[in-house]
């Protein structure tokens, strides 16, 4: 439930306003040099308050490595990372406890967990939980290029092969329907409203053959974890929804050479659920932040009446802005898992 | 790999031109009346040759129940269904073995399985494998309304409640970019080309609370299995990709009453990864059939040269046409699994 | 539930007196030569009527390969094997339906599955289900020595290494408390009663390092599947229960050389849950066949009274006699799974 | 790997001499009152230095609840517990790094994890990891009798039923082969050696029907987790190994009444892999503590020669003495998991 992955497996825990958020990574091979510093650049990208349109809540977001690393190297045992919560202002939430915020999990959580859920700041549903995911993703990224592959990148280079590292890069490509994302954000600021966006992710250097029949296609595994990111409402690969309006002769990518390189890449690097060695390309739709500054209407479950109210607290105007590094992280988790399964990564590096 | 589900679990096997295709359903509660006839209407909907634009390959598609049913009632043990392959014309495939068909899994399968894969008709990658999925889905659909819920539909009705059965209905809403799907299909027939489409699925009667934090959100579970359906390239919930262009005040669905009913349903029935009791709505993008009648270009891996060739065999012009019942089936599998997990369905009916 | 294994995964189905029993093996690497004949020797060992003290029920026990093998070689896709039931005499069972046979699952199955279970011949609980397990075990045994290891046995031999194949051998070492098993069996025949026994299994050639912390120790994985064999009541590794009466200085095995060879082998080849390269040794206690020829007393759940009755049908006097090949099979399944996990077996042979 | 359980799932992490040991419990229903104090009595029983023959290492062993509990009640989200390591004396271990201690995981860990393992105090293999298991077990025990069953204990009592709480009790029944355990321990003290023992566990109040066909029999699930406890070398249910010397007419337990009560209980409460409502009884063989005070011989992997050496550090003379509460804990974990699966425990209490 709160875990995912087959051989490279993460388990998430914690609440936005509790003691901490954290993650355990089980299955990371032994022998990977790992320090807190390896995770900081990605964690920095995830943080709020760094750019316009993101929450002013500031946490230092420095993980504490509780296990699984010895003398700066992974041991092969579970790596648990803890991020303490310090900068919490819970009273913002308790005041409006009986009015479920539209778009948030408040009402469904209350029904599903019988009112026992930690509602402060969204509790376990908070985007703050993605801190652990980003840290785990940074570990996975490092693992993918750690030289534990067989033959290793270095061996392959020595044999004259041009070495292709695996790179994962996600970026916001649209905000509020505008491809000029600065313009999209200004539109939201002007409207004093939150706004949605589109994120595109591209992965280069993947080997052919990642993805398992029948139910663990590469798309299935990626979509599964992508839809676990709060606010994601759509996922498409390659030409995606546009493919539905194409003819087969247009959409099919002709294979050009023995490496599997295709002339076009409408497939986005996946055919039959399996990576084909071309660039992996997918896009996500991110809905507008549910916590809009605008006045809203919702049910008060104590009175049974609807009423107008405004959301307090510190929030992102556009959650898509902070999401690219999260998208990269979950992508890295999936790729690491499949690389281990396909034996491209050794169990001891 | 070839299995999915936590408590209501299916495992798929077989090849398009081998002995059979089949499926095992593990975890179906004991006490469900079940005959082959229960599965035939959905299987009929999946069959080719029934409507314009689908393959003329005709199989009778009548499952043989090999286990798990005794005296016409499920026993609680694994139900294995077998569909024998009879109407196979494998020679169509062996002739062009060395030319991987663009858009198909031929090339990646050859790389991943070392040339040992059964390539005839796509082997295990064939859409024929969905026969078992449709049959399993028919069982799941029956289970969802079998009165095993607690309190049962009948008990609830006797207590004066208006009973809402769970209904799952998918339909093609666009072909080739045309909302008039007949027009879209004619465009393809005129162009002598295959074409893609959009499928929309709506589920009514779901209880509040299906979906698990963090990685088993309802969207995650559905997207996982939806992307296992061949040719699916995109999945979106509620307003989906359109949400990326909306403001928060537009997108948020205001809760209106104590049942959780919302004024609008941009969320498509899922908030925070959990069903909220409103109609579940999602859409899929289906790419054009890879086996287009048009001449194509691909690599011949024996010669190392690309060449033009035409695909023989019997194929659908638009695979989206046969997919709605498959979409319904996998949706039913996911819902049954979550209903068992949430204890809405008893283990003995 | 009816499946086990992480990367080499089997799923079992069928009933003793239904259409068939069968098994699906998911995760067998592509490229293993495989015919029905490969499985027959082990299946022959499992059959009744071959030796004194076993059931006279005769099935030809020839599997039909339904999927996953193409041109006599595994494809990497699920292998489903079916054994049709032909020689069934179900009337033996229906007559005494309301009197649960002591030692059998009749009463618990009736409670757990609400009376919907297929009770004929024990249904899914029947030892006949082990037919599929033995066949899957034969495949696993072949896989373990198939040359898919890296470097392969052949490569290692060419490099001058003495190649150690992995051999798994189980045997009955006691019957009815007698180490002279023939004498133990005669005692039972004389007493006109069924009798229990001890089976010992020895595995040679295992690499160091099989077994995972914390909960998937090699003992855990083996014991899990061994206790799924009907009638197994105890499992011990190395000196086992006798270790409880030893001093540490007696029990500890001193490591003698760089291969990890130990002077003694009280550990039975597993330390800290991980194979240490020495011979793997374990023993199982098998209870006497529940279907004894003696008159017994049990509850009649229709009358609510206990009564005396005799079991009809065809049964083994000592189920331990047919169990060694089953023990070997499940051991091979576990070893194959760990060998894949530890990357000693390639995914394409 | 470091996780176990289907619906009530625990994940373990940490090292003996690292930052901490800990555990995450995923799937505990919402609504269970829970404080640190609920876990202290069992943790106290696990501690060393409390009784003769146990290690003098003293940790306060007070868990810190990091997540999943809000206002003293479980939320339904993952509960992470941390035990900080304070009283560590790592220098004891680094001195003899190159001499693997016989009976310990030192050598296999070194091979399997490439020398990257945290060797101090056994690292992740240390019995200190069972601290988290005991705490999780205390939660599971509380859950089993929390009134969340359906109908609840209270409802059942109000309806006149005599309520049977589920009680789990394990005890040492033999040390060093002596049923007078004090005598067995004195024997070891006199011999200046460590010694093994036998633990018996009895569970009362279990409902009929726990255990799943085929591979998740109740014995399988229990044995799996019992063999994860360090030093366990054998597990037997009911009469266990003694059953192998019995006749069927002796061993079979005659059912006496409609509750399933049997005249004898040779089966130990499990028939066909499923609980039958009688007392669950099983025994474990625990080997002598590997860290004996006696001088031993082992390989020095730096010199390649064997040499005599003595183990320093603080150790138990008989690990069996501290194990009963661990045995109870893992039993409670398994029972809670099956109770949820069988819907005897509600997801919201």
Among B168-177, B280-289, C143-152, D12-21, the least confident range = C143-152
Q: Give the β-pairing of B274-275 and B270-271.
A: antiparallel
CB spacing of B347 vs D342 below 8 angstroms: yes
Could you tell me if D261 and D243 are in contact, meaning their C-beta atoms sit under 8 angstroms apart? no
Cβ atoms C215, D224 nearer than 8 A? yes
pLDDT digits (tens, 9 = 90+) for A13-52: 999 999 999 999 999 999 999 999 999 999 999 987 667 7
Q: How close B149 comes to chain D (CA, Å)?
A: 12
Q: What is the mean pLDDT of residues B195-208?
A: 97
Query: What is the distance between the alpha carbons of residues C212 and C166, in angstroms, rounded to a whole number?
Result: 20
Q: What is the DSSP letter of D161?
A: P
Min Cα separation C273/chain B (Å): 27
Separation of alpha carbons D112 and C210, rounded Å: 8
pLDDT at B189: 93
Q: What is the DSSP secondary-structure string of B268-333?
A: TTEETTEE-SSPEEEEEEEPPPSS-SS-EEEEETTTTEEEEE---S---S-GGGG-HHHHHHHHHH
CB pairs under 8 A between A and B: 352
- The answer, yes or no, to whether residue D150 has pLDDT greater than 60, is no
- The nearest alpha carbon in chain C to B125 belongs to C77
Nearest Cβ partner for D346 among B213, B343, B346: B343
Task: Give the three-class secondary structure for D16.
Answer: coil
- Do residues B196 and A251 lie in contact, with contact meaning Cβ atoms separated by under 8 Å? yes
Q: Measure CB to CB from residue A213 to each of C6, C7, C77 and give the nearest one.
A: C77
pLDDT for D192: 94
Q: How close is the nearest chain D Cα to the Cα of C135, in Å?
A: 16
Which pLDDT band holds residue B151 (cuts at 50, 70, 90)? Answer: low
Residue B296: its chain A contacts at CB < 8 A?
Answer: 249, 252, 254
Q: Closest to C347 (Cβ–Cβ): which among A342, A346, A347?
A: A342
Residues in chain D with CB shorter than 8 Å from the CB of C176 are 244-247
For testing contact with chain A, the best of D67, D105, D132, D349 (most A CBs within 10 A) = D67
Other CB atoms within a 10 A radius of the CB of residue D173 amount to 15
pLDDT of D316 > 70? The answer is yes
**Cα separation of B66 and C23, whole Å?**
12
**Average pLDDT in chain B:** 92
Note the pLDDT of residue D283.
Answer: 98
Cis-peptide, bond into residue A181, ω within 30° of zero: no
Q: Which residue has the higher pLDDT, C54 or A85?
A: A85
Cis peptide before B189 (omega within 30 of 0): no
Residue A136 · residue A74 · CB < 8 Å: no
What pLDDT score does D272 carry?
Answer: 96
Angle between helical axes of C218-226 and D218-226 (0-180°, round to 10) = 160
Task: Give the count of beta carbons closer than 10 Å to the beta carbon of residue B4.
Answer: 23
How far, in Å, CA of B88 to CA of B16, rounded?
8
Distance CA A51, CA A45 (A): 10
Are C126 and C16 spatial neighbours (Cβ–Cβ below 8 Å)?
yes
Distances A255 to A129, B100, B297 between C-alpha atoms, Å = 42, 8, 8
Q: Compare CB distances from B227 to A219, A238, A296 and report the shortest one's residue.
A: A219
3-class secondary-structure state, position A128: helix
Mutate one of C1, C12, C13 to test the B interface: name it (highest B CB count within 10 A): C13
Least confident of A129-138, B136-145, B252-261, D140-149: D140-149
What sign does the dihedral B23-B29-B31-B33 (CA atoms) show? Answer: negative
Q: Which residues of C touch B118 (CB under 8 A)?
A: 70, 75, 77
Domains recognised in chain B with CATH numbers? 3-341 (3.60.150.10)
Q: In the predicted model, what is the mean pLDDT of chain A?
A: 92
pLDDT, average across residues A83-100: 80
When pLDDT is cut at 50, 70 and 90, the band that residue B201 belongs to is very high
Q: Which residue of A has its CA nearest to D10?
A: A11
How far apart CA A280 and CA B286 sit, in angstroms, is 18
- pLDDT truncated to tens, each residue of chain C (349 aa)? 899 999 999 999 999 999 999 999 999 999 999 999 999 999 999 987 667 777 666 678 999 999 999 999 999 999 999 999 987 766 666 777 899 999 999 999 999 999 999 999 889 999 899 999 999 999 999 999 886 655 666 666 677 766 678 999 999 999 999 999 999 999 999 999 999 999 999 999 999 999 999 999 999 999 999 999 999 999 999 999 999 999 999 999 999 999 999 999 999 999 999 999 999 999 999 999 999 999 999 999 999 999 998 887 667 899 999 999 999 999 999 999 999 999 999 999 9
Of A77, A343, A346, the CB nearest to C346: A343
């Amino acid at each position: 439930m709160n875990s995912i992955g087959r051989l490279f497996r993460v388990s998430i825990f914690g609440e936005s306003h509790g003691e901490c958020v954290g993650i355990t990574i089980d299955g990371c091979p032994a022998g990977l040099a790992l320090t807190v510093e390896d995770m900081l650049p990605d964690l920095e990208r995830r943080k709020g308050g760094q750019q316009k349109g993101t929450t002013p809540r500031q946490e230092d977001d420095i993980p504490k490595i509780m296990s699984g690393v010895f003398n700066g190297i992974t041991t092969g045992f579970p790596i648990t990372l803890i991020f303490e919560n310090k900068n919490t202002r819970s009273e913002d939430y308790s005041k409006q406890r009986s009015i479920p915020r539209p778009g948030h999990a408040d009402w469904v959580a209350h029904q599903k967990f019988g009112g026992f859920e930690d509602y402060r700041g969204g509790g376990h549903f908070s985007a703050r939980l993605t801190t652990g995911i980003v840290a785990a993703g940074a570990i996975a990224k490092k693992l993918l290029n750690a030289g534990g592959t067989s033959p290793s990148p270095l061996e392959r280079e020595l044999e004259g092969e041009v070495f292709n590292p695996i790179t994962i890069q996600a970026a916001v490509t649209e905000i509020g329907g505008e491809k000029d994302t600065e313009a999209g954000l200004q539109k939201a600021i002007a409207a004093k409203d939150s706004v949605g966006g589109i994120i595109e992710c591209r992965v280069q250097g993947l080997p052919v053959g990642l993805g398992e029949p029948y139910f663990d296609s590469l798309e299935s595994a990626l979509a599964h974890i992508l839809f676990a990111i709060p606010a994601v409402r759509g996922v498409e690969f390659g030409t995606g929804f546009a493919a539905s309006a194409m003819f087969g002769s247009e959409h099919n990518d002709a294979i050009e050479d023995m490496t599997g390189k295709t002339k076009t890449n409408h497939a986005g690097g996946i055919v039959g659920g399996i990576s084909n060695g071309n660039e992996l390309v997918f896009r996500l739709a991110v809905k507008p932040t549910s916590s809009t500054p605008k006045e809203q209407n919702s049910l008060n479950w104590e009175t049974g009446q609807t009423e107008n109210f405004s959301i307090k607290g510190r929030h992102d105007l556009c959650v898509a802005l902070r999401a690219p590094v999260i998208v990269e992280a979950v992508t890295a988790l999936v790729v690491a898992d499949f690389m281990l399964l396909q034996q491209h990564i050794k169990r001891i590096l």
